[in-house]
Amino acid sequence: MKKVITYGTFDLLHYGHINLLKRAKELGDYLIVALSTDKFNLIKGKKCYFSYEERRKLVESIRYVDLVIPENNWEQKINDIKEFKVDIFVMGDDWKGKFDYLKEYCQVIYLSRTPEISTTKIKGELKID
């Protein structure tokens, strides 16, 4: 079984998120999503519309996702890859090169984003902080 992991906040879930998760799942048999906790988002300077629990329920309901785990800090990625025996780490290409250090542990793939949509764009158009 080939396991894939990705990380994100997934606030204001939209079709760009679904596209990314679908394409990530197509790379393997089992997709793990490490979802940023509210506490971690504060550290990153992000303010979410939905709480961690609400976002977790939304992401868990997506048919491509097999498991949702909390992302509590930047450093946990290596431990997650080892613990869950991950074969492929996937992120959007806006992070290209940032996680190349993980190539020592698994394959690293950067997927292109859906260009016309993002949570930042939605918040900006709706005038949400």
User: Which residues form the catalytic set?
Assistant: 44, 46
* Tokens of residue 71, six digits: 């992302």
AA letter at 66 = D
Query: What does the chain come to in residues?
Result: 129
Give the integer Cα–Cα distance in Å for 115 and 75: 28
CA–centroid distance for 32 within its chain: 9
Distances (CA, A) of 40 to 45, 47, 61, 72, 73: 9, 10, 22, 5, 6
The number of beta carbons lying within 10 Å of the beta carbon of residue 3 is 19
